């Protein structure tokens, strides 16, 4: 069977060579007009979630540039070995701008980028940038802080349950800020944390949500790639906080709010800059003020004073007068990490590997 | 009315050759219908799936790079499978091999040393063997089911890796992200050509295939193990000890899987992170069976499975087919292959009246 494939291979290769040759020419002819953009997704595009929001960013490029752009996407690329192959393939197929959308795409992109100096690479959640590799990331913690304020008002047991994919700073920071937001309303709030070690494992996530609820948590926030946490909370009568997309329709009326991600501005500005020849590598970390993080409509069950306080927190963060990680902040051991009047530095937040006082659980 | 499965008295030797061809043909027919139903020209799609990925040097390099660990691990597994030693946990042994090898690579005092790579090779092998020695001991001494133990050891290995990359081995300059620092250059296999990712670890696989062929077809011990697998009572009567097969089957397959893990760390990965294997340890079980536990069959099986991965990506990139469709296609091919294999040895028929069907 392999033999017949090989024979076919020999037979077709001449024809294919000719076909590729002409295709290459036509690409050259169009090179001035059509920008080829590639995007690599970590999971399949579903109705909601991380990859869905990235696909909306790609759609925004299509909407903004119409027939001036040709987009190629591939999903379910998670392991670094596979990612490097796909990035090479995309770069050698004439894509001039390539997006990687997972932390695990980082090392592969760092290896591929120097080989294709004329291709612009953009890495979401990346930490190292190069001459032709830019990084962008959202300040999730601003969204969780605002959601935490709502949680502080609505929780009767004063216990939040948080489910995270992996114990990385991009999840640990938001979990901390969620609790800090809640504590700004009710200083007795605590937050129990469970990590799944997977972005997509609905079975495990369901178990985790059930465990947290049975421990008395009446607010569930889940930073994974599914709506499972929101669903389980809705079934059990607990409040929920959605992530990445508005998950209200999964929440059985108990969806408090969601901190959603809108990458359109990042995708479109990168594509336009590459098309205009002005793209430069940069490191972007954007939040509520830039519209990359947005809050979905609040649940109508929130009393007026809660709505006012949530809205004020959001406005103050946008205005820069409120910082979720403003001191005094103590860690689980009671050690002061940010003194009163001080704020955690950007580097400290991006590399955060400790929980604030009141978090129940361990890293990893 | 019911159907029953019975063993064929004599498997047809013609069908043994024809079965894979029939399976391929069935896959092509059914998948063509599927591609046509979702609005793609079947011929174009099949071309994009099976041929286009291999039309460039880069494609060939990627093909071999992905096939190499599959073939390597499957060679080790097949030796055990022939003796009825069911090591399902090659994935875990691969992970431990990668951990042990990377530990040497990261912490050896002289990162420039030419000895680094050979030491990592030994560490990877030893790591895989050590992980497989636990189920071997339990099976040989206490008759514990090695399928369960090897499988569960895989989860332990994954968690051990997670513990290391989240904790003590985390890159100090890496913003606390769960990955180690990059391995030094002396810890990496060299490329044939810097443009492509294929590296010299492919020679390990070539040697393993030849060694496996020699061991199973030409050595006395290989013969003993096969007899023990095919006819345990006869083997016992002839004085062949079962525990020897258990130890050897698990240590060889574990050691080889550990080497594959080392080759991933010193090849395409270059560092450890929380996820290092795209399921090679499990896919290699399929490869071993597609290859009928035979060295050269395994080479073909590994190349086929690797091409299925590449083809699945290629049709996503070039034709925009969703990844689910490619998974269905891959599943279909494996289903037909294994089903036709089954029908060589068994037939499905109506039960004989005397046995009383309901």
The 10 Å Cβ neighbour count of residue B8 is: 12
Q: What is the torsion angle, in degrees rounded to the nearest 10, for the CA atoms of residue A28, residue A29, residue A30 and residue A35? A: 20
**Closest approach of B269 to chain A, Cα-based (Å):** 6
How crowded is residue B11: how many other Cβ atoms within 10 Å of its Cβ? Answer: 14
Where along chain B do its domains lie?
69-292
For residue A66, the 8-state DSSP code is G
pLDDT band at B175 (very low <50, low <70, confident <90, very high): low
- Smallest Cα distance from B143 to chain A, Å: 32
> Closest-CA residue in chain B for A4?
B21
Q: For position A130, what pLDDT does the model report?
A: 93
Q: Which long-range contacts (CB under 8 A, 24 or more apart) does A344-349 make?
A: A346/A285, A349/A141, A349/A169, A349/A173, A349/A325
pLDDT over 90, % of chain B: 52
Q: Which of A75, A76, A81 sits opposite B268 (nearest CB)?
A: A81
Bridge pairing between strands B346-349 and B4-7: antiparallel
Cβ–Cβ of A78/B275 closer than 8 Å?
A: yes
HSE-up (13 A, CA, CB side) for residue A9: 17
Angle at alpha carbon of residue A360, lines to A354 and A364, rounded to 5°:
55
Cβ pair B46, B56 in contact under 8 A: no
Q: Is B332 left (phi over 0), alpha (psi -120 to 50) or beta?
A: alpha
**Which one of B176, B196, B271, B340 makes the best mutation probe of the A interface by having the most chain A beta carbons within 10 Å?**
B176
Which of these ranges, B18-27, B71-80, B106-115, has the smallest mean pLDDT?
B18-27
Domains of chain A in sequence order: 31-138+263-290 (3.40.50.2300), 141-260+293-360 (3.40.50.2300)
Query: pLDDT averaged over chain A?
Result: 89
Q: From chain A, pick out residues whose CB is under 8 angstroms from the CB of B178.
A: 166-168
Which of B156, B158, B280, B323 has the highest number of chain A CBs within 10 A, making it the mutation to test binding with A? Answer: B323
For A:90-129, CB contacts with B below 8 A are: 90, 92-93, 103-104, 107, 111, 115, 127
What would the pLDDT profile of A197-211 be if each residue is shown by its tens digit? 888 889 999 999 999
Is A278 part of the contact surface with chain B (CB cutoff 8 Å)?
no
CA distance A203 to chain B (A): 17
Quickly count: other Cβ atoms within 10 Å of residue B2's Cβ.
7
pLDDT for residue A14: 41
Global pTM value: 0.81
Q: Tell me which residue in B176, B178, B323 faces A76 most closely, judged by beta carbons.
A: B323
Any chain A CB within 8 A of the CB of B185?
no
A62 close to B (CB below 8 A)? no
Side-chain-side CA neighbours of B294 within 13 Å: the count stands at 6
From the list A13, A76, A169, the residue facing B176 with the nearest CB is A169
By Cβ distance, the residue of A1, A80, A353 closest to B176 is A353
Query: What is the predicted ipTM?
Result: 0.75
> CB of A346 within 8 Å of any CB in chain B?
no
Measure in Å the smallest separation between the Cα of A167 and chain B Cα atoms. 8
Judge contact between B242 and B235, C-beta under 8 A. Answer: yes
**pLDDT at site B353:** 55
β-bridge partners, A164:
A195, A223
User: Cβ-count burial of A28 within 10 angstroms (0-12 exposed, 13-18 middle, 19+ buried)?
Assistant: exposed
Q: What is the DSSP letter of A326?
A: B
- Within 268-297 of B, beta carbons closer than 8 Å to A belong to 268-271, 273-278
Mean pLDDT of A57-74: 94
**pLDDT higher than 70, residue A106:** yes
Predicted local distance difference test score (pLDDT) of residue B71: 97
DSSP A322: -
Return the closest-CA partner of residue B288 out of B84, B70, B27, B95.
B70
Contact A218, A195 (CB under 8 A): no
Nearest CA in chain B to A171: B177
């Amino acid at each position: 069977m392999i033999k017949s494939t090989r024979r076919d291979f020999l037979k077709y290769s001449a024809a294919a060579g000719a076909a590729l040759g002409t295709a290459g020419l036509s690409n050259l002819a169009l090179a001035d007009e059509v920008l080829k953009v590639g995007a690599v997704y970590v999971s399949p595009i579903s109705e909601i979630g991380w990859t869905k929001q990235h696909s909306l960013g790609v759609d925004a490029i299509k909407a903004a540039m119409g027939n001036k752009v040709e987009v190629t996407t591939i999903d379910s690329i998670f392991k670094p070995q596979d990612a490097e192959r796909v990035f090479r393939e995309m770069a050698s197929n004439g894509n001039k701008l390539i997006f990687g959308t997972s932390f695990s795409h980082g090392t592969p992109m760092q290896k591929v980028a120097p080989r294709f100096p004329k291709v612009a690479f953009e890495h979401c959640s990346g930490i190292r940038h190069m001459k032709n590799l830019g990084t962008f990331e959202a300040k999730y913690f601003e969204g969780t802080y605002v959601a935490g304020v709502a949680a502080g008002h609505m929780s009767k047991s004063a216990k939040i349950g948080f489910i995270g994919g992996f114990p990385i700073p991009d999840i640990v920071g938001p979990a901390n800020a969620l609790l800090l937001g809640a504590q700004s309303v009710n200083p007795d709030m605590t937050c129990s944390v469970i990590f799944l070690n997977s972005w997509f494992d609905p079975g495990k996530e369901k178990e985790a949500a059930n465990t947290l609820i049975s421990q008395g948590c009446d607010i569930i926030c889940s930073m994974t790639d599914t709506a499972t946490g929101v669903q389980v909370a809705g079934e059990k009568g607990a409040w929920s906080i959605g992530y990445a997309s508005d998950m209200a329709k999964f929440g059985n009326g108990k969806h408090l709010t969601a901190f959603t991600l809108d990458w359109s501005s990042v995708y479109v500005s990168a594509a336009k800059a590459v098309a205009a020849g002005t793209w430069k590598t940069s490191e972007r970390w954007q939040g509520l003020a830039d519209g990359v993080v947005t809050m979905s409509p609040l649940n109508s069950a929130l009393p007026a004073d809660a709505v006012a306080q949530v809205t004020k927190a959001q406005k103050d963060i946008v205005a820069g007068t409120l910082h979720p990680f403003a001191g005094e902040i103590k860690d689980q051991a009671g050690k002061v990490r940010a003194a009163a009047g001080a704020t955690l530095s950007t580097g400290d937040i991006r590399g955060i590997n400790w929980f604030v006082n009141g978090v129940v659980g361990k890293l990893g | 009315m019911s159907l029953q499965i019975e063993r064929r008295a004599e498997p047809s030797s013609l069908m043994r050759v024809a079965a894979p061809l029939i399976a391929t043909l069935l896959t092509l027919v059914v998948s063509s219908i599927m591609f046509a139903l979702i609005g793609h020209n079947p011929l174009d799609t099949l071309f994009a799936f099976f041929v286009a990925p291999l039309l460039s040097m880069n494609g060939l390099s990627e093909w071999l790079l992905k096939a190499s660990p599959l073939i390597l691990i499957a060679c080790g597994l097949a030796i055990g499978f022939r003796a009825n030693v069911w090591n399902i946990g090659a994935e875990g042994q691969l992970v431990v091999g990668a951990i042990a090898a990377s530990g040497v690579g990261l912490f050896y005092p002289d990162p420039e040393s030419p000895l680094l790579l050979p030491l990592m090779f030994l560490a990877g092998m030893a790591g895989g063997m050590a992980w497989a020695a636990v189920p071997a001991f339990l099976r040989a001494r206490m008759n514990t089911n090695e399928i369960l133990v090897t499988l569960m050891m895989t989860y332990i290995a994954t968690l051990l890796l997670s513990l290391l990359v989240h904790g003590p081995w985390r890159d100090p300059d890496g913003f606390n992200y769960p990955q180690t620092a990059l391995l030094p250059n002396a810890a990496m296999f060299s490329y044939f050509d810097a443009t492509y990712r294929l590296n010299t670890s492919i020679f390990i696989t070539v040697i393993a295939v030849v060694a496996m062929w020699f061991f199973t077809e030409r050595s006395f011990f290989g013969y003993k193990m096969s007899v023990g697998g095919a006819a345990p009572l006869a083997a016992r009567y002839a004085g062949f000890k079962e525990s020897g097969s258990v130890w050897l089957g698990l240590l060889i397959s574990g050691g080889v899987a550990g080497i594959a893990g080392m080759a991933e760390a010193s090849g395409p990965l270059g560092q450890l992170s929380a996820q290092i294997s795209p399921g090679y340890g499990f896919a290699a079980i399929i490869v071993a069976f597609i290859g009928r536990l035979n060295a050269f069959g395994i080479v073909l099986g590994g190349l086929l499975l690797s091409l299925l991965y590449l083809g699945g990506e290629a049709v996503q990139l070039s034709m925009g087919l969703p990844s689910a469709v490619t998974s269905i296609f891959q599943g279909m091919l494996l289903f037909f292959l294994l089903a036709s294999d089954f029908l060589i040895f068994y037939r499905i028929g109506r039960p004989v009246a005397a046995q009383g069907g309901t």
